[in-house]
Amino acid sequence: MKLAINGGKPVRTKEFPEQETIGLEEFKAMGRVYDHTRLSHYRGNWSESFYGGPEIQKLEAEWMEKFGSLHAVPTNSCTSALQIACGAIGLKPGDEVIVTPWSMTCSATAPLMWGAVPVFADIEEDYFCLDPESVKRKINKKTKAIIAVDLFGQPYDVPAINQIARAHNLSIIEDAAQAIGSKGHKSYAGLFGDFGCYSFTQGKHLTSGEGGMLVTQRHGLALEARMLMNHKEAVENDIFDQVGTRSVPYNDNPHNGAGFNMRLTELQAAIVSEQLKKLDRFVDMRTNNIFELNLGLDIIPAIELTHTRELCTHSFYAQAFKWDSKQAGGLHRDVYINAVKAELAGEVGRLDKGVPIGNGYIKPIHLMPLFQEKRHWVLKKYIREYKKGSCPVAERLWKDELFLSMYHALPLTDQDRADIIEAFCKVWQLKEELL
């Protein structure tokens, strides 16, 4: 037997089944919207249309019932939801926001929209979310908020981070883009802070192609978020003209007076509404796949399996592993994983036909050119150094230790799971070829 990367026969050349996304129910819902001929009912004025059309309002009601939020505001992306949340809490130029170096970049760049400065705290060794001790060290009199990310589907350390926020009177924006359906501390992910943000892009638990959701338990913040999402300046003017006063029933932040068009369409809302009915099944499928895969991979001593935080559930956007090169005789993670990928095939329908296993997640955000070269006016004005080595845990995991698999998000059969496990084990057994 010989490794495929060295010219041997791979474990599998047949493509894996594609991720379950849009089904007959979603197509019927789209047809219902098309029958009404209007793909959006939103208008940027102070009227019933300010709140969107029937599909938007239906999705909001279903979301609130499912997750227990008092308010749900559909948006055109999670990025938009994060930017809206930063504006709604009143961020202004020169404020500082503590962010994670390891997430989709928008988790760290959203404050820049309002002239606020991202400050990177390091992450936890085992759960990969913000490290509370590192957060404490980053707080000063300019700090106004924390953006806490539920990375890979794992809820952040709610008791510790929230206690820090209360002690310093900081707002918390929870980026739950990867954690729809995760639970902890008697609530769903997304409800642990002042705002919670979700994503409906491809690959997420629920998808309408693009889209997002913003939730909050605070009435004033909810209306301020709606204003920013839907042309605040025009709506505010309507309110003034109609009632003759600037005393409006929401958090009036004069420095955040201009709004955007970050609205979800009726078509997208109808799709997500149908997907929401399937969420528990989607999460169960991912969880079951991971349970079975972990049983097979647990025999490889160099691989440390995913941990789940105490008193929480994990909805597993991604399956995260840590690699111990010492246990592998000095074999680097990249060499091992590249050999595993050579043994397997991608999934049906992937545009790049790549194997859904990756080394190290993304480069830590503070090391990207935007921050290293201060390419944004905020970073130029409020001079701050983003040094290599400032987030050592994130940097080490990225460079040497962590790897991700997305196979668990596919509707795998027993044979599919067996092939994945065999590929990992084959490379482990023949690792001397790589050394």
288 plus 233 within the same structural domain: no
157 plus 32 within the same structural domain: yes
pLDDT tier, 250 (very low <50, low <70, confident <90, very high otherwise): low
Name residue, tokens 């102070």.
46
Of residues 383 and 1, more confidently modeled:
1
pLDDT tier, 251 (very low <50, low <70, confident <90, very high otherwise): low
Q: Is 272 within the bounds of a domain?
A: yes
pLDDT tier, 254 (very low <50, low <70, confident <90, very high otherwise): low
pTM beyond 0.85, yes or no: yes
Cα–Cα distance, 335 to 225 (Å, whole number): 47
Q: What integer is the mean pLDDT of 65-81?
A: 98
How many domains does the chain divide into?
A: 2
Q: How is 277-288 classified by DSSP, letter by letter? A: HTHHHHHHHHHH
Assess contact for 86 and 113: CB atoms under 8 A: yes
108 plus 223 within the same structural domain: yes
- CATH number at 221 reads 3.40.640.10
Kindly give the pairing relationship between strand 171-175 and strand 195-199.
Answer: parallel
DSSP tally for the chain: helices H, then strands E = 15, 13
Residue 328 sits at φ, ψ, to 5 deg, of -105, 20
Residue 246 has pLDDT above 70, yes or no: no
147 plus 290 within the same structural domain: no
Q: How much of the chain exceeds pLDDT 90, in percent?
A: 86
162 plus 128 within the same structural domain: yes
pLDDT tens, residue by residue, 147-171: 999 999 999 999 999 999 999 999 9
pLDDT tier, 244 (very low <50, low <70, confident <90, very high otherwise): low
Residue where one domain finishes, among candidates 277, 292, 314: 277
374 plus 428 within the same structural domain: yes
Question: Which pLDDT value is given to residue 255?
Answer: 58
239 plus 359 within the same structural domain: no
Q: Is 407 within the bounds of a domain?
A: yes
pLDDT tens, residue by residue, 102-147: 999 999 999 999 999 999 999 999 999 999 999 999 999 999 999 9
- CATH number at 384 reads 3.90.1150.10
Question: Which pLDDT value is given to residue 240?
Answer: 76
Domain that holds residue 195: 24-277
DSSP 8-class letter at 312: B
Cα–Cα distance, 313 to 311 (Å, whole number): 7
Q: Is 109 within the bounds of a domain?
A: yes
Cα–Cα distance, 391 to 374 (Å, whole number): 18
268 plus 283 within the same structural domain: no
Helix (H, G, I), strand (E, B) or coil at 343: coil
214 plus 290 within the same structural domain: no
Question: Which pLDDT value is given to residue 253?
Answer: 58
Q: Is 19 within the bounds of a domain?
A: no
Q: Is 138 within the bounds of a domain?
A: yes
Residue where one domain finishes, among candidates 224, 253, 277: 277
Q: Is 366 within the bounds of a domain?
A: yes
Question: Which pLDDT value is given to residue 303?
Answer: 98
Residue where one domain finishes, among candidates 223, 251, 277: 277
pLDDT tens, residue by residue, 330-361: 999 999 999 999 999 999 877 666 899 999 99
287 plus 236 within the same structural domain: no
Q: What integer is the mean pLDDT of 367-388?
A: 93
Kindly give the pairing relationship between strand 303-304 and strand 357-359.
Answer: unpaired
Question: Which pLDDT value is given to residue 392?
Answer: 98
Name residue, tokens 């990756």.
358
Q: Is 154 within the bounds of a domain?
A: yes
Cα–Cα distance, 266 to 429 (Å, whole number): 53
Residue 215 sits at φ, ψ, to 5 deg, of -125, 155
277-315 burial by CB neighbour count: b if 16+ within 10 A, else e?
ebbeebbebbbebbebbbeebeebebbbebebbeebbbb
91 plus 239 within the same structural domain: yes
Burial class (CB in 10 A: 0-12, 13-18, 19+), 352: exposed
272 plus 321 within the same structural domain: no
* Number of Cα atoms under 13 Å in the Cβ half of residue 362: 16
Q: Is 35 within the bounds of a domain?
A: yes
